[in-house]
Amino acid sequence: MKEDFVSTMRNLNRLIGTHKSNGELLNGIASVIQESTNANTVFIEGNGRILAVGGNLPKDLMSDNNEFIDKKVAVQINKFKEPQININLTGVENCSSAVVPIPNGGSMLLFKDNNEEFSEQNKLSAEVGANNAAWVVQWVKKENQDNEDREIKIARAVLNSLSFTEIDVIIEVFDSIKNGEGFVVASKIADKNGYARSVTVNALRKLESAGVVQTRSLGVKGTYIKVINNKLCDEINKFKKRNRV
């Protein structure tokens, strides 16, 4: 047991001494704890946003948005103020779970398949990992917030650059795709709104030039669209509410 703990400490110290980005460092810590405890490991924020992963996560842990765990599971996790092992999280099946709160916010979750139990040694290793990760988590959260603010600013700027007719067709385009990607036929979108096909084409070109979407022409089948700015859909929905579209 002592040798396992010393090995975990040595691996964490070696990792923290490397010159990695904060995101890489946190993923590295998750991987060290995964190897030490033989449990899939994930760091999350209080709102359920995934910060780093070591291993594979249970499918029923995830929300429809792969950046977050399921909200109901997140609510359960936030109730734990002290490290707990061998718990059953409602909604996560066939797994034994452990929760370790991270100082200054967030949690580390661990999952063992087939309800295999965690040992006290596993709990100790997880606590050490959580303490080592605390300051990294703060930096990763700040980086995520900065990136989110940047995406919002870019999304708003490109939407503000569109004409009224272009806004109309973009709203129609996004109403016709799901989960941030799908196929649209420019001529049908334009005809539905009474505009020329070029209005749809130019609007999509502006979005792509701003780096908020990717498009690929499929000829007569239409155009494939994938949103790469996670805040674009939110900003379009806000615009619709403000203007009661």
Residues 6+ apart with CB under 8 A from 134: 102, 103, 104
Output the pLDDT for position 13.
67
- Backbone φ, ψ for residue 154 (5° rounding): -65, -45
The tens place of each residue's pLDDT in the chain, 245 residues long, gives 444 656 776 777 677 666 567 778 888 889 888 988 999 999 998 889 898 999 998 888 888 777 899 999 999 999 999 999 999 898 888 889 999 998 778 899 999 988 899 999 899 888 888 888 887 777 777 888 888 899 999 999 999 999 989 998 999 899 888 888 888 888 888 788 788 888 988 999 999 999 999 999 888 778 899 999 989 999 998 888 776 55
Look up residue 214 and give its DSSP letter.
E
| Distance in angstroms (rounded) separating the CA atoms of residues 124 and 129 | 9
Task: List, by residue range, all CATH 3.30.450.40 domains of the chain.
Answer: 2-141
| Distance in angstroms (rounded) separating the CA atoms of residues 107 and 78 | 8
Helix axes 120-160, 22-37, angle to 10 degrees: 150
Tens of pLDDT, residues 11-48: 776 776 665 677 788 888 898 889 889 999 999 988 89
CA angle (104 as vertex; 102, 105 as ends), nearest 5:
60
Distances from the Cα of 65 to the Cαs of 180, 229, 237, in angstroms?
Answer: 10, 14, 17
Residues 6+ apart with CB under 8 A from 220: none
Look up residue 59 and give its DSSP letter.
G
Tens of pLDDT, residues 226-235: 999 989 999 9
CA angle (148 as vertex; 146, 152 as ends), nearest 5:
115
The CATH code belonging to domain 2-141 is: 3.30.450.40
Output the pLDDT for position 17.
65
Task: List, by residue range, all CATH 1.10.10.10 domains of the chain.
Answer: 154-243
Distances from the Cα of 200 to the Cαs of 109, 161, 211, 221, in angstroms?
Answer: 45, 14, 17, 15
Output the pLDDT for position 136.
79
Class of domain 154-243: mainly alpha
- Backbone φ, ψ for residue 118 (5° rounding): -85, 145
- Backbone φ, ψ for residue 17 (5° rounding): -80, -5
Closest by CA position to 97, among listed 130, 123, 79, 75: 123
